[in-house]
Amino acid sequence: MNEVKVFCPATIANLSCGFDVLGLCLDNVGDEMIVRKSAEKGVRITKIEGANLPLETEKNVAGVALLAMLEETNAGFGFEIEIYKHIKAGSGIGSSAASSAGAVFGANELLGRPFSRKELVKFAMQGEKLASGNAHADNVAPALLGGFTLVRSSNPLDIIKIDSPNELYATVIHPQIELKTSDARSVLKQTVSLKSAITQWGNVGGLVAGLYTQDYDLIGRSLHDEIVEPLRSVLIPGFDLIKQSAYENGALGSGISGSGPSIFALSRGKETAEKIAKGMCAVYDEINLPYEIHVCKVNDTGMKVL
């Protein structure tokens, strides 16, 4: 095998109550990437389509992630990477994570899988560090492992994969506005009330329990975030209307994807997910705000070779 074509799925991090710890993998939204062996050692990004991103290895998240991996294994050859971006940068559904994780996943295949998917997470996190200054795992972990992932701890890294209930669908709407990560961060408060924190960890427990027992109602009852969402949602046009519309159309829960501006809703079954999408689109159509809309099953297997 001299090259692999990889599907690099989009992901939803900061899943309501699971801010900074819970994420999920999407099924049919993602980038494609070709990773190829080359005689010349090292890593070269040879092509990027669909986005204006740096080709220099050290400035590209895919390049940086793969370089981190190569420090821990002996590759008898080098790598060329072609990236076909479909996930928009800054959309809040893990664009940089898809590239970071895709590069290490593809190279690992060409090397005969010296690393498990879970072991690849720490390398992909180096791409995230380049992108945001913070080596976080909450997008790269679901991209690599699929389903839901809980980052119980970042240091030491402790990631738990939780299978998705079979009928769980996500609807994601991406309003075409620019929301700077620095703005999304600056609205956060460094302290929270003990009362809200207890509510939040009760909901995290409920959500994890709901996932293991495939209890869709419990998942829905647990999908609340009373700490971060009230602060960040004001930065997203029409957030309350979109969320209200999602609930009216049968959503189990709805919230901000990543640090926004995308908004997600989870639901049981494709029909409901599509109904929710229609309702969300109508909200932005009404105010003439351009958007992208996605309806996907939760992807339980994660990144894959095409």
Angle at 146 between CA 145 and CA 150, to 5 degrees: 75
Under the binding rule (CB under 8 A), the answer on residue 14 touching its own copies is: no
Q: Which of 40, 47, 193, 278 binds its own copies (CB under 8 A)?
A: 193
Of residues 154 and 301, the one with the C-beta less far from its own copies: 154
Distance of CA 34 to the CA centre of its chain: 20
From the candidates 57, 181, 199, 301, give the one annotated as an active-site residue. 181
- Enumerate residues 6+ apart whose C-beta is below 8 A from 278: 249
DSSP characters over 269-297: SHHHHHHHHHHHHHHHHHTT--EEEEEEE
Cβ neighbours around 40 below 10 Å, total: 10
Of residues 130 and 227, the one with the C-beta less far from its own copies: 227
Least Å distance, CB 224 to its own copies, is 9
User: Binding string, 120-159, against its own copies, x = CB under 8 A?
Assistant: ------------------------------xxxx----x-
Q: Map the footprint of its own copies across residues 199-238, applying CB under 8 A.
A: 199-209, 212-213, 218, 221-222, 227
C-alpha 112/C-alpha 117 separation (Å) is: 13
Of residues 201 and 270, the one with the C-beta less far from its own copies: 201
Q: Map the footprint of its own copies across residues 160-179, applying CB under 8 A.
A: 160, 162
226 a catalytic residue: no
Beta bridge partners of 11: 25
User: What H or E segment, with its residue span, contains residue 82?
Assistant: strand 78-84
Under the binding rule (CB under 8 A), the answer on residue 17 touching its own copies is: yes
Under the binding rule (CB under 8 A), the answer on residue 116 touching its own copies is: no
32 a catalytic residue: no
Number of residues located near its own copies, criterion CB under 8 A:
40
Beta bridge partners of 118: none
C-alpha 134/C-alpha 122 separation (Å) is: 12
Indicate which residues carry an active-site annotation: 128, 181
User: Which residues contact its own copies (rule: CB under 8 A)?
Assistant: 17-22, 150-153, 158, 160, 162, 188-195, 197-209, 212-213, 218, 221-222, 227
